[in-house]
């Protein structure tokens, strides 16, 4: 695999002449805050909908979602610089609505048509109270408000992704070898990571951290591919995940077998199995999104320990119910009234 570089836009606040105050959000109570003598109030205003404290649809990051007519009021002794930093995926479904301020100058930065770009609404002026009002028909998904922080700078930073050259050539793989989801947050871009000497590469997708109610996962966006590479021949791969309706992938080595009902969305353990690969690298092309909660790679035998080949046909032809649950901080999969760990071990 050739060396891959990815340009990720990171938001950097340059050191300014002011004492910076940052307002972040973690619950509905944060709609009214006071820090360093500066108050922030998010209100319904003239809107028909109340502002909502929630997590972003795509990034799982917490945000304040504002609708048409909602307001943000910032008050302090001397306000010179205010930045409203929107969620990275705010451009999804043309979510950027108009924004106005009752005083001063307001400029919006970032590409509103690009979901990979942050959007920053930057106000400058001299006032004790500034009222921002949403106009138009869209939304603003705001993750933080920075007051008197100086000029916003959005700098490109080059990140080098791991490649096959970074794998250990003499690595003793277990049977199966589990691919763990990285403890990071990365969304809507090209990514690669190594877990237990297996390189995972995706042309475009996301890596999402676990929350109190959902497990961590990585996904491959529709019309992109997911590649698994090792230093020993791979026999089979088993993926616990979520597949979209009518998901119909293809692979360059081996054969795909689906273990969920293809007529509707399903989280399963596993969602699909790739058998008879017999190659050190296999690429899965996904016409629709594939979300991976857990991946097991086999080097000595073909999977699946839960669903042997001779029993696969009857399982595929029946409506199988699957559920992923979180108990005491541990993720389990319930399928056909039996409980499994993400690694495929049945829990009695």
Asked if 44 and 179 sit in the same domain, the reply is: no
Number of domains in the chain: 2
Each residue's pLDDT expressed in tens, for the chain with a length of 348 residues? 433 333 222 333 333 334 689 999 888 899 999 998 999 999 999 999 999 888 765 556 788 889 999 999 999 988 989 999 887 654 444 456 788 999 999 887 665 555 555 678 889 899 999 999 998 777 888 888 999 855 444 444 456 789 999 999 999 998 889 999 888 766 667 899 999 999 999 988 888 877 766 778 888 888 899 999 999 999 999 888 776 666 678 899 998 877 654 433 444 445 788 888 999 999 999 888 888 888 999 998 776 544 443 333 333 333 334 555 666 656 666 666 667 665 556 777
Identify whether 3 is part of a domain: no
Q: Which residue among 110, 125, 155 closes a domain?
A: 155
Asked if 247 and 272 sit in the same domain, the reply is: yes
Indicate the SS3 state at residue 78: strand
Indicate the SS3 state at residue 26: coil
Measured in degrees and rounded to the nearest 5, phi and psi for residue 29 equal -65, -20
Identify whether 4 is part of a domain: no
Range of 254's domain? 161-347
Q: Show contacts of 98-105: CB within 8 Å, 24+ apart.
A: 98/134, 98/135, 98/136, 98/138, 99/132, 99/133, 99/134, 99/135, 99/140, 100/132, 100/133, 100/135, 101/125, 101/130, 101/131, 101/132, 101/133, 102/130, 102/131, 102/133, 103/127, 103/130, 104/130
Q: Taking CA 236 as the corner, what is the angle to CA 5 and CA 178, rounded to the nearest 5 degrees?
A: 65
Identify whether 339 is part of a domain: yes
Asked if 196 and 343 sit in the same domain, the reply is: yes
Handedness of CA 66, 71, 76, 80 (dihedral sign): positive
């Amino acid at each position: 695999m050739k060396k891959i570089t990815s340009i990720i836009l990171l938001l950097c606040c340059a050191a300014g002449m002011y004492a910076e105050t940052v307002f972040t959000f973690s619950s509905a109570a944060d709609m009214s805050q006071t820090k360093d003598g500066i108050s922030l109030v998010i209100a319904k205003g003239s809107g028909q909908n109340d502002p909502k404290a929630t997590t972003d649809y795509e990034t799982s990051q917490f945000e304040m979602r504002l609708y048409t007519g909602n307001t943000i009021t910032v008050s302090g002794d001397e306000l010179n610089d205010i930045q409203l930093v929107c969620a990275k995926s705010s451009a999804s479904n043309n979510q950027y609505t108009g924004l106005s301020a009752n005083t001063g100058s307001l400029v919006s930065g970032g590409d509103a048509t690009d979901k990979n770009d942050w959007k920053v609404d930057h106000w400058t002026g001299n006032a004790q109270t500034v009222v921002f009002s949403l106009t138009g028909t869209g939304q603003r998904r705001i993750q933080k408000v920075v007051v008197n922080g100086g000029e916003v700078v959005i700098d490109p930073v080059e990140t080098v992704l791991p490649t096959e050259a970074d794998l250990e050539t003499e690595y003793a793989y277990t049977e199966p070898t589990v691919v763990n989801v990285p403890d990071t947050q990365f969304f809507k871009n090209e990514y690669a990571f190594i877990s237990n000497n297996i390189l995972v590469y995706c042309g475009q997708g996301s890596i999402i951290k676990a929350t109190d109610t959902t497990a961590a996962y990585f996904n491959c966006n529709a019309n992109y591919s997911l590649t698994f590479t090792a230093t020993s021949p791979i026999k089979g791969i088993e993926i616990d995940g979520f597949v979209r309706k009518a998901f119909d992938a293809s692979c360059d080595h081996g054969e795909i077998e689906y273990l969920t009902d293809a007529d509707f969305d399903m989280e399963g353990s596993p969602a699909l199995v790739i058998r008879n690969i017999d190659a050190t690298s296999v690429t899965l092309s996904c016409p629709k999104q594939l979300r991976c909660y857990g991946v097991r790679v086999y080097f000595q035998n073909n999977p699946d320990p839960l669903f042997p080949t001779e029993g696969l046909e009857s399982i595929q032809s029946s409506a199988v119910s699957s559920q992923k649950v979180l108990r005491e901080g541990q993720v389990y999969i319930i399928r056909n009234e039996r409980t499994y760990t993400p690694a495929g071990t049945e829990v009695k």
